Amino acid sequence: MAIEKLLKDEATEEKGERARMASFVGAMAIADLVKTTLGPKGMDKILQSTGRGHSVTVTNDGATILKSLHIDNPAAKVLVDISKVQDDEVGDGTTSVVVLAGELLREAEKLVNAKIHPMTIISGYRMAAECAKNALLEKVVDNKLDAEKFKADLMKIAMTTLSSKILSQDKEHFAKLAVDAVMRLKGSTNLEAIQIIKKPGGSLKDSFLDEGFILDKKIGVGQPKRIENAKILVANTAMDTDKVKIYGARVRVDSMAKVAEIEVAEKEKMREKVQKIINHGINCFVNRQLIYNFPEELFADAGVLAIEHADFDGIERLALVTGGEIASTFDNPESVKLGHCKLIEEIMIGEDKLIHFSGVDMGQACTIVLRGASPHMLDEAERSLHDALCVLSQTVNDSRVLLGGGWPEMVMAKSVDELARKTPGKRSHAIEAFSRALVAIPTTIADNAGLDSAELIAQLRAEHHKEGSNAGIDVISGSVGDMAELGISEAFKVKQAVLLSATEAAEMILRVDEIITCAPRRREDRM
């Protein structure tokens, strides 16, 4: 007897062909969505939230676009995740990885329709990915030993990364900012020490890099505006207890004089706390919480600069940069680590006053101040710069560099094609398909620039059959150009991450033959 029904009412399942179709279609739709943002001539997308405030984001960063989508299709979610990982891991190539995975699936769909088993396709893809990676490894350039050349490489990589973003007009200026900031890190990939402050007004060209640390706060009234050889105590403590704080507290007194006594006692308590803080021998006190007028006055009398309400991001970074620790109790001064810096002063950026800490303990700290016409522009500029900083900090560690502009994809496609010719059996179809998927990236770059991609890719392929060719797509002149002369470079780490993540994601989606959607749990089921 057949089982009538296995799953609950609202659960659905799709098997075999239909499940595979659903995954393929979802993944390809996502790839087509971000495809138009790829390359130097890629377009931006406006993301408008339907929530409160209807906030608008204008962006061309693949990971940001996909993060904001609410997707129902399970396979599409896999692609969103790989672009997120790519963003966290290397910062750039978030669009390429999705486009490549989408193309791999598009090719796989044709093969599945031609009755080739998904496992055969996967094993072919695996071989092809290995072969492509080795092809890149043969062609990498490593200038770590020559500081001048390496810095030039970093500049090129930064300019290539920025050329597909909103900063492309002033890419030299921003590439220089990014390279200077990353060179200060001296090889660490911790981008915490680089702070980015956004100030509307001015134009993007007015952005600058400042050594030291800038805190987005004003200096209080009647306090020193400039301190040299500052000793800084960074704290997270309540400095507003000169009032009875306990709500609903009833204090019965029989005269007004008693009330005055309570107030005096409170004041004394505060004065003691301030005295404890001053006993640390500091001349700058930065607090995360409010500082009321009375303690502020006491600090001003003692010649201590008190800064209140420094946001958490700012205070953590300040502690990190000045070498101090965040304190919340002040009974034993010897156990508190103070921060140090050479000079604290107030500066003006545009209309706003900010506090500038220079000569900080952590020499690699710096602040990039972005100026721009509107908040949306600044947000996008920050995302673009963050991508460039990520890529550069990774490149400083792994200094292998490749040419850009579709050159790596053509190199990989060429060697994968050769592998397909040598491989017997059905796998060769899959390997060939992999090479076609790789070519899709330069094709998309050309399409987005409004060029004749079929013509260009054919020329490019012919160029690459000559030994040691540096040909790639020169979007500006609209023809095949020499990437080494144009100075278009990419980090090897980014390309490798794109290749491996896309292959693994495609493989994962290919393995699916059934999608089961669970019914939501009902309240009464829990009894």
Task: Give the pLDDT score at 68.
Answer: 86
Residues 457-508 have pLDDT tens digits of 999 999 888 888 888 888 888 889 898 888 888 889 999 999 999 999 999 9
**Structure letter (DSSP) for residue 9:** T
Q: Catalytic site residue 61?
A: yes
Q: What 3 state SS string does 375-442 have?
A: HHHHHHHHHHHHHHHHHHHHHHHCCEEEECCCHHHHHHHHHHHHHHHHCCCCHHHHHHHHHHHHHHHH
Considering 37, 57, 59, 61, which one is annotated as catalytic? 61
Residue 56 and residue 47 in contact, taking contact as beta carbons nearer than 8 Å: yes
Task: Give the pLDDT score at 245.
Answer: 57
Task: Give the pLDDT score at 497.
Answer: 92
Considering 87, 153, 170, 387, which one is annotated as catalytic? 387
Considering 59, 94, 367, 443, which one is annotated as catalytic? 94
Share of the chain above pLDDT 70, in %: 95
Rounded to two decimals, the pTM is: 0.84
Alpha-carbon distances, residue 332 vs 67, 276, 335 (angstroms): 47, 9, 6
**Residue 515: is its pLDDT beyond 70?**
yes
**Residue 128: is its pLDDT beyond 90?**
yes
Please report the sign of the dihedral spanned by the C-alpha atoms of residue 398, residue 403, residue 404, residue 406.
Answer: negative
Which pair of tokens denotes residue 327? 């304190």
E-assigned strand segments in 146-207: 194-200
Task: Give the pLDDT score at 433.
Answer: 94
**Residue 73: is its pLDDT beyond 60?**
yes
Q: Catalytic site residue 87?
A: no
**Residue 222: is its pLDDT beyond 80?**
no
Task: Give the pLDDT score at 247.
Answer: 61
Task: Give the pLDDT score at 329.
Answer: 79
Q: What's the mean pLDDT in 130-138?
A: 93
Q: What's the mean pLDDT in 108-129?
A: 93
Q: Catalytic site residue 95?
A: yes
Considering 95, 161, 322, 395, which one is annotated as catalytic? 95
**Residue 298: is its pLDDT beyond 60?**
yes
Residues 241-283 have pLDDT tens digits of 655 555 666 778 888 888 888 888 888 888 888 888 888 888 8
What domains are defined for the chain? 12-141+403-517 (1.10.560.10), 144-210+367-398 (3.30.260.10), 213-362 (3.50.7.10)
Task: Give the pLDDT score at 48.
Answer: 87
pLDDT-wise least confident of 87-96, 129-138, 325-334, 377-386: 325-334
Task: Give the pLDDT score at 527.
Answer: 52
Residues 357-375 have pLDDT tens digits of 887 776 677 888 898 888 8
**Residue 121: is its pLDDT beyond 90?**
yes
Q: What's the mean pLDDT in 162-169?
A: 83
Q: Catalytic site residue 120?
A: no
